[in-house]
């Protein structure tokens, strides 16, 4: 990665995002662009005064934290609408990664209008990292939701570059059509060991093909679990104490530009840890 853009609203949530973005920039040698959007519907005098004050504040924060000592940092305070202007700047700056803090819930309004994070995730041409935890160390326990698509492969390679030297857990949550007709679950509804082995063996070909498309430096382990991807990803992330979960658009519009799919939406709404959402296009890793 060469260019990382972190959006800030000057809140504590954004401070965590800036710390993680700075750590990734130092790790990859990327330039860090710190972006704040001033509402362009404010009166001109107030908007310009706010722009000047925010620039001064961000410069003080960066200096006090020593962020600029190890990486190149550029500050951008622009006028516009928060999420659409952020996406415009992502394109202008040629970003490889966008970093945001987790959103502040607005209750039922979020259900109708969507959060800034969800809007950016649904439209961003580059990966979006949402940060909920304070960055105390590089990522070490990444978990990637895998549907064997090219997008999942891109996500796996990206995560491996963000957490170098640490194994990536690939999680495939599989669905069994006509479950009661094709298997013999126990009285408690659990699959028998025989059925589980038979079904997971049938995934071997897709797993092998997926592994062959990974970069050579990716180390990994597999986790195959029956169930809904959204529920399984959340549960396993918490069980494994993952510090990063990655999801991508499903080949059949799991994440569309109009509406996030349930898996990505749930993870962004109530994240078990930091969440990386990758777009359909292959992200730039060089």
- pLDDT per residue over 159-169, tens digit each? 999 998 899 99
Which has the closest alpha carbon to 102: 217, 14, 24?
Answer: 14
> By the 8 A CB rule, do 130 and 6 touch?
no
Task: Examine domains 1-136 and 139-275 and report if their fold is the same.
Answer: yes
- What confidence score (pLDDT) does residue 183 get? 61
pLDDT, tens digit, 9 for 90 and up, residues 103-115: 554 443 344 334 6
What is the C-alpha separation between 229 and 62, in angstroms, rounded? 39
* Mean local confidence (pLDDT), 167-178: 82
Which has the closest alpha carbon to 274: 159, 192, 180, 175?
Answer: 159
133 confidence band (pLDDT: 50, 70, 90): confident
DSSP code for 243: S
* Mean local confidence (pLDDT), 184-194: 65
- Residue 249 has which token pair? 């658009």
Overall pTM surpassing 0.75 (yes/no): yes
- What confidence score (pLDDT) does residue 38 get? 95
In this structure, whether the domain defined by 139-275 belongs to CATH 3.40.1390.20 is answered with no
What is the C-alpha separation between 61 and 59, in angstroms, rounded? 6
> By the 8 A CB rule, do 106 and 116 touch?
no
Q: Which CATH class is domain 1-136?
A: alpha beta
H-helix or E-strand containing 123?
helix 116-123
19-33, 122-136, 192-206, 250-264: least confidently modelled range: 250-264
What is the C-alpha separation between 192 and 150, in angstroms, rounded? 32
Indicate the average pLDDT of the chain. Answer: 83
Which has the closest alpha carbon to 243: 3, 16, 73?
Answer: 16
280 confidence band (pLDDT: 50, 70, 90): low
* 82-93 vs 116-123: helix crossing angle, rounded to 10: 40
> By the 8 A CB rule, do 101 and 17 touch?
yes
Domain positions in the chain are: 1-136, 139-275
3-7, 97-101, 151-155: least confidently modelled range: 151-155
For 34, 156, 160, 211, the CA distances from 22, given in Å and listed in that order, are 10, 22, 18, 31
Confidence check: pLDDT of 43 > 90: yes
Confidence check: pLDDT of 27 > 60: yes
Cα dihedral sign for 17, 20, 23, 29?
Answer: negative
């Amino acid at each position: 990665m060469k260019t990382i853009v972190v959006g800030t609203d000057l809140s504590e949530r954004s401070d965590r995002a800036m710390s993680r973005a700075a750590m990734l920039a130092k790790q990859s040698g990327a330039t860090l662009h710190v972006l704040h959007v001033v509402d362009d519907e404010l009166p001109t005098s107030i908007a310009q005064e706010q722009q000047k004050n925010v620039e001064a504040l961000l410069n003080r924060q960066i200096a006090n934290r020593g962020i600029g000592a190890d990486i190149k940092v550029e500050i951008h305070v622009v006028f516009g609408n928060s999420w659409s202007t952020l996406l415009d700047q992502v394109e202008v700056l040629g970003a490889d990664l966008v970093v945001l803090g987790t959103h502040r819930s607005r209750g039922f309004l979020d259900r109708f209008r969507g959060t800034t994070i969800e809007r950016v995730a649904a439209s961003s041409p580059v990966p979006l990292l949402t940060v909920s935890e304070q960055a105390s160390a590089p990522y070490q326990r990444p978990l990637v939701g895998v549907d064997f698509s090219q997008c999942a492969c891109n996500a796996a390679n990206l995560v491996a570059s963000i957490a170098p030297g640490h194994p990536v857990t690939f999680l495939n949550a599989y669905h069994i059509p006509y479950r009661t007709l094709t298997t013999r679950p126990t009285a408690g509804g659990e699959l028998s060991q025989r059925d589980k082995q038979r079904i997971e063996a049938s995934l071997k070909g897709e797993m092998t093909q997926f592994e062959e498309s990974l970069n050579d430096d990716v180390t990994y382990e597999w986790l195959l679990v029956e169930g809904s991807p959204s529920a399984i990803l959340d549960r396993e992330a918490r069980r494994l104490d993952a510090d990063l979960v990655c999801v991508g658009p499903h080949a059949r519009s799991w994440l569309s530009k109009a509406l996030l799919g349930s898996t990505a939406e749930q993870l962004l709404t109530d994240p078990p840890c930091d969440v990386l959402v990758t777009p359909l296009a292959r992200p730039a890793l060089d």
